[in-house]
Amino acid sequence: MPAPIPLPQHLTPLDGPPARLGPRLRIAVPSEALRPLGDTVADLLARLHAAGTAVTVGTDGDLRLTLDTPTDTEPIDPPQGIDPRTGIAPGAAPTAGPDAEAEVDPGRREAYGLVVDGGGGCAVTAGDAEGLFRGAVTFAQLLRRDSGGGFVMPRVRIADGPAFAWRGLSLDVVRRFFTVDQVKKVVDLLALYKFNVLHLHLSDSQAWRLEIGAWPRLTDPETWPGRATNADEGVRPYYTRDDFREIVAYAEARFVTVVPELDMPGHVLAAVRAYPELQGPDEPVHKLLAYLHPRGDATFRFVEDVLGEVAALTPGPFLHIGGDEAFGMPDELYREFVARALEIGRATGKRVVAWQEAARSGALTPADVAQEWVGAGDEFDADEARERIPPEYHALVDEMAKAFAESARDVPAAVAAGAPVLASASSVMYLDRRYAEDSRDAAQTARRTRVGHGSYPLRTCRELFDWTPGTLTEIPDGADVAGVEAAIWCETVEGFDDLAFLLLPRLPGIAEKAWTPARTEWDEYRGRLASHPAWWEALGWHDHYRSTTAFPE
């Protein structure tokens, strides 16, 4: 029997032949208010399986979605961490559900039961719409065409829910710009694997990708370093406010929360080129370095405007202020800036997320989230960097070495401050790493020396699967782990095909670590993965890596 990714907590095969469904799949939703959910499920089934679909209100359907507490199922372990839709921990008090009059236990928001017994079609039961959608995705992964043109489903009973409440992907749209439609394809992929966060890295040294009304020159490519738009020809290389709203709405319909990041006080060369007054009175140590000076006249007006506008555009409860790699910025100025930026972010009504270096400010609180990223084995090697780059950039290397020398103390400091830690260890969750193994396509094998950062140690798909969140040495004992988030940085990405090349087949493995509480084994997981490339193709991800490790002959 085919099994989905991520693997459900409890999956019990039932006796009997597969349930047979017709060529036109009928999705039944319990109320008119949930018809949009049915439409989203119908769209997924149509795209993955080229199926005709229809959505009805009631109980007559090939797939019935029912709002209720799943009964007669195995007990579900509640998730760990912070719910990105609500900003609260799953153990908190119940809240009113958006699609039902009953209260929804935060510990069961995404839990669902799925039963296919041959007698009454296929039924998904959950306490809220989000759980119904997760169950419908599992249904979509179990569904198969039969030889007569209809569909079959294995008889099965599933009781399922996530291990971690926050399961995300950080997408760098600065070093390589992706259009609204391309970002929607990323959302489709996240939804297929039960991720629930799209963290958009919207600003960096190379460009500023989100329109800010109070500071219009930020998105003027003429002010960006080198004037490099790094976008497809003819594409406006930034998102308007309406573009951003469109992405948020599309993601929300698939229960993916957008967390926007405006990186500061470092990684701001594009902003400083647009508004030189943000640099303040001090000269940076290198022409490629810039930072927002906390004692500049315009700095905190800028921060208030930017974070205020983005918070107003973002219905989700989180706002990311960056805080990483402020190379060349004196420690005192860094602490002063981050402390004030955290205050400004909180004042928008959002919970603030920052990269692990923000712990050096001494200003993190239990209301904030520290995103850990410096992974064991990926520490910065200054000597290697000096050998690799021209002498004119060695001042940059020196500043990087100073910053990374402090990194081992960041996460313990965040934990001591009571801040939850979002696990994004570069050692296993940075997917801009080159492949160690060959592809079954010779052209891809040659290309793997170009796509992906060469500074990371090479690791196979199997090595990037062989971990669990509980074994990450980067997270100290006693940490309150907010969740799990992969990242893809796009300095080597020249187009959407390169993004597919790096994300797949590795992203589904991250999904399994974030969703499935029990440790799963590589050989069994690889067997489940074998059928998934056809779905990637159906969703528009055509250039996934044909790894010899992930896909045996």
Positions annotated as catalytic residues are 325
Instruction: Identify whether the C-beta of residue 230 lies closer than 8 Å to the C-beta of residue 197.
Output: no
Nearest-angstrom CA–CA distance, 375 and 474: 6
SS (H, E, C) 77-117: CCCECCCCCCCCCCCCCCEECCCCCCEECHHHCCCEEEEEC
Nearest-angstrom CA–CA distance, 401 and 213: 37
SS (H, E, C) 45-83: HHHHHCCEEEEEECCCCCEEEEECCCCCCCCCCCCECCC
Q: List C-alpha distances in Å: 479 to 149, 235, 418, 470, 523.
A: 52, 43, 8, 11, 31
Instruction: Identify whether the C-beta of residue 270 lies closer than 8 Å to the C-beta of residue 224.
Output: yes
Instruction: Identify whether the C-beta of residue 60 lies closer than 8 Å to the C-beta of residue 69.
Output: no
Instruction: Identify whether the C-beta of residue 509 lies closer than 8 Å to the C-beta of residue 525.
Output: yes
Nearest-angstrom CA–CA distance, 512 and 535: 17
Tell me which DSSP letter residue 365 carries: -
Instruction: Identify whether the C-beta of residue 143 lies closer than 8 Å to the C-beta of residue 27.
Output: no
| Distance from chain centroid for Cα 299 | 30
Q: Work out the angle at residue 291's Cα, subtended by the Cα atoms of residues 287 and 296, and round it to the nearest 5 degrees.
A: 115
For the chain, the first-to-last Cα distance in angstroms comes to: 20
